Amino acid sequence: MFGKRRFNSFFGDLDSMFNDLNSVFNDNSYYVTGKRNVESGVDDSGEWTKESFTSDDGTYKVTTIIRNNTKGVTPQKSNSKINTLKMKLENAVEEQEFELAAKLRDQIKSMEVNQNKIEELNTKLNNAVSNQDFEEAIKLRDQIKKLEN
């Protein structure tokens, strides 16, 4: 069924394809020129660095975020949500999705204004769950969601 000729032909074609592929990547170097932007800072989760690259013609864009949790501290839930929303906001602005960006901005402001109340309610929620008072926990959860939106 699979004669020697067919077997050799298949692997010969495969070798030829790999050789062509290697010649593309090894013989020719492709460089993309553009602008690089690096930002860094420290927040409740530790150090972070954000590097963005955009090609001169704007067709190629890469953003890398590196987080180094040197403090060994687990971020608080509300701060983590705010930081996540801020990253989504930044991405929405970069993608020029301004309606989404406006909604995210308003949600971040609401959470920052209500942050102390949310933390207080989270403490009460944890106590209610520990005491197995699930009806109270549901009420507290709903209050927290209302404040976060």
One digit per residue, pLDDT tens: the chain, 149 residues? 444 455 455 556 777 777 777 776 665 556 778 898 888 877 766 788 888 888 888 888 888 888 876 555 444 555 678 888 888 999 889 889 899 999 999 988 888 888 888 888 889 998 988 889 889 989 998 988 888 77
Q: Which residue segment(s) compose the domain that 57 sits in?
A: 32-73
The pTM of this model reads 0.40
Is 124 among the domain residues?
no
**Phi, psi for 34 (deg, rounded to 5):** 180, -160
Count of domains observed in the chain? 2
Asked whether residue 69 falls in the same domain as residue 38, the answer is yes
Same domain for 42 and 20: no
- Of the candidates 121, 120, 108, the residue with the CA atom closest to the CA atom of residue 148: 108
φ/ψ of residue 56, rounded to 5: -60, -35
- Domain membership flag for residue 93: no
Same domain, 22 and 47: no
Measured from the Cβ of residue 28, the count of other Cβ atoms closer than 10 Å reads: 7
Chain-centre distance of CA 40, in angstroms? Answer: 16
The reply to whether 38 and 69 lie within a common domain is yes
Same domain, 39 and 62: yes
Asked whether residue 95 is assigned to any structural domain, the reply reads no
Contact residues for 109 (Cβ-Cβ < 8 A; gap 6+): none
**Is residue 65 a part of any domain in this protein?**
yes
Cβ proximity of 103 and 89 under 8 Å: no
